[in-house]
């Protein structure tokens, strides 16, 4: 049995059976579990994902020093369901701590951090507040908590007050961007000693999986045939969610601009989301669905389909909360050697793309951007990703944080 100091509780409101859990949670913990840590993961699993992918997760962690404690995620009714999940996570956490005597608690985002704060105050177990983003502000700016509604105003105020407590009492804070750290140090943590206990770890990528060198010409030709894409077509590719923050209309408008200059451009959208929003927006713009290919894509398939692209795209609403965001898709694009069309004022993306020299910034009118000159060095782009966004680099920082706490 692992020694007491090695038992770490990891709490996530995202499920391991979600795509994000498999790309942004497990890779870190699998590497860290090879060190002197035993992880207990408490995650909230969406019933359908859990049913479909439970076996996959169990196979991945089999034989490792990771133990999984899945809990059902509740979606409805809004707010009350989240409070229920917090209550259930607190109850489960108390039970697990009684059994395993955790020496640290690692909390991914706000709701798990509330549970971590509970464990800290109750049992003295220090916790990491792995913020991920400015969650309460995201809920407001994304329209989930309209401030015209009195109840949602109260909810927002509650979480902003709680945010201050979490930042003050966490043993360590992790953010995704230098912009987020700067905002915290100048604002909520101004003149607070805790402002020095902030680490920046952007969303990273498994560069061994996202590696174009592992994909042969035959595999790519089969994928093109499956998608109905000709070898002479140029491919604009988008990967990931199409909801809330992602500017689908503007990305389609950019595609309109590409086609004005060269009709051979096709738009490949890789998403597990309902594609109706894309279809509706394309119709409004008079685009033919013959030129837009929408493919549901699991993480293991993503590198193959990204490898078909000539140019990737990522337009995200440049609101306040997105200053704390690090798009996972950006790291994946760069690891595949793809240049990226992107919009300004999202997290550290401007600075990253300036350093990488692999981007096309679209600031005002997407259709006016015109035909890009795709004179980029794919090998140099990938090398940049391997130097800056590897899971191993993130693991190294997390390991130092845990070493200080345990």
Domain assignment of residue 207, yes or no:
no
If asked whether residues 398 and 312 sit together in one domain, one would say no
Residue of 7, 12, 5 lying closest to 116 (CA atoms):
12
If asked whether residues 8 and 157 sit together in one domain, one would say yes
pLDDT at 2: 42
Domain assignment of residue 172, yes or no:
yes
Token pair 């509780």 in the structure block, residue = 9
If asked whether residues 296 and 306 sit together in one domain, one would say yes
Domain assignment of residue 231, yes or no:
yes
The pLDDT tens digits along the chain (406 residues) read 444 458 999 999 999 999 888 888 999 999 999 988 999 999 999 999 999 999 999 999 999 999 999 999 998 888 899 999 999 999 999 999 999 999 999 999 999 999 999 999 999 999 999 999 999 999 999 999 999 999 999 999 999 999 999 999 999 999 999 999 999 988 766 656 555 689 999 999 999 999 999 999 999 999 999 999 998 999 999 998 888 889 999 999 999 989 888 899 999 999 988 999 999 999 999 998 999 999 998 888 999 999 999 999 999 999 999 999 999 999 999 999 999 999 989 999 999 999 998 888 987 565 555 556 677 899 999 999 999 999 999 999 999 999 988 8
pLDDT at 41: 98
If asked whether residues 194 and 219 sit together in one domain, one would say no
| Euclidean distance between CA atoms 372 and 353, whole angstroms | 16
If asked whether residues 335 and 235 sit together in one domain, one would say yes
| Euclidean distance between CA atoms 304 and 317, whole angstroms | 28
Structural domains counted in the chain:
2
If asked whether residues 181 and 255 sit together in one domain, one would say no
| Euclidean distance between CA atoms 256 and 269, whole angstroms | 15
pLDDT at 370: 54
Domain assignment of residue 103, yes or no:
yes
Residue of 104, 160, 154 lying closest to 128 (CA atoms):
104
Domain assignment of residue 361, yes or no:
yes
| Euclidean distance between CA atoms 36 and 403, whole angstroms | 9
The CATH number assigned to the domain holding 296 equals 3.40.50.2000
Q: Is 316 exposed, middle or buried (0-12, 13-18, 19+ CB in 10 A)?
A: buried
Cβ contact 233:310 at 8 Å: no
Token pair 């962690």 in the structure block, residue = 61
Domain assignment of residue 315, yes or no:
yes
Structural domain boundaries, residue 344: 212-388
pLDDT at 406: 81
Token pair 């894309």 in the structure block, residue = 278
Residue of 364, 365, 367 lying closest to 254 (CA atoms):
367
pLDDT at 4: 47
pLDDT at 3: 46
If asked whether residues 238 and 339 sit together in one domain, one would say yes
Residue of 14, 24, 15 lying closest to 326 (CA atoms):
24
If asked whether residues 186 and 259 sit together in one domain, one would say no
If asked whether residues 154 and 227 sit together in one domain, one would say no
Domain assignment of residue 108, yes or no:
yes
If asked whether residues 179 and 57 sit together in one domain, one would say yes
If asked whether residues 145 and 72 sit together in one domain, one would say yes
């Amino acid at each position: 049995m692992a020694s007491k100091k090695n038992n770490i509780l990891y709490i996530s409101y995202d499920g391991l059976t979600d795509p994000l859990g498999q790309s942004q949670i497990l890779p870190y913990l699998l590497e860290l579990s090879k060190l002197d840590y035993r992880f207990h993961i408490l995650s909230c699993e969406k019933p359908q994902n859990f049913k479909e992918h439970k076996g996959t997760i169990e196979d991945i962690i089999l034989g490792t020093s990771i133990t999984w404690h899945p809990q059902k995620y509740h979606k409805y009714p809004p707010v009350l369901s989240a409070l229920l999940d917090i209550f259930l996570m607190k109850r489960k956490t108390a039970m697990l701590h009684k059994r395993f005597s955790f020496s640290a608690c690692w909390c991914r985002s706000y709701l798990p951090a509330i549970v971590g704060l509970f464990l800290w105050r109750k049992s003295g177990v220090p916790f990491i507040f792995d913020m991920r983003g400015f969650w309460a502000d995201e809920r407001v700016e994304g329209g989930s908590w309209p401030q015209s509604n009195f109840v949602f105003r109260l909810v927002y105020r509650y979480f902003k007050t709680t945010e201050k407590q979490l930042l003050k009492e966490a043993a360590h804070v992790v953010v995704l961007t230098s912009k987020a750290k700067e905002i915290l140090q100048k604002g909520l943590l101004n003149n607070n000693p805790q402002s020095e206990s902030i680490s920046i770890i952007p969303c990273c990528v498994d560069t061994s999986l996202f590696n174009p060198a592992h994909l042969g010409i035959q595999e790519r030709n089969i994928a093109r045939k499956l998608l109905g894409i000709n070898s002479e077509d140029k491919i604009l590719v988008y990967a990931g969610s199409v909801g809330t923050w992602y500017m689908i209309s503007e990305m389609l408008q950019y595609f309109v601009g590409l086609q004005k200059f060269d009709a051979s451009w096709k738009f490949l959208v890789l998403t597990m989301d309902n594609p109706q929003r894309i279809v509706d927006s394309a119709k409004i713009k008079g685009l033919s669905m013959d030129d837009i290919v929408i493919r549901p894509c699991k993480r293991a398939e993503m590198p193959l389909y990204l490898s078909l692209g000539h140019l990737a795209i990522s337009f995200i609403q440049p609101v306040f909360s997105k200053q704390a965001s690090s798009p996972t898709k950006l790291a994946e694009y760069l690891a595949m050697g793809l240049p990226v069309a992107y919009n300004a004022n999202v997290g550290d993306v401007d600075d990253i793309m300036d350093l990488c020299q692999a981007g096309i910034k679209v600031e005002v009118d997407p259709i006016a951007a015109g035909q890009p000159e795709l004179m980029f060095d794919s090998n140099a782009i990938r090398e940049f990703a391997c130097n800056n966004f590897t899971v191993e680099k993130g693991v190294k920082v997390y390991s130092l944080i845990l070493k200080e706490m345990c």
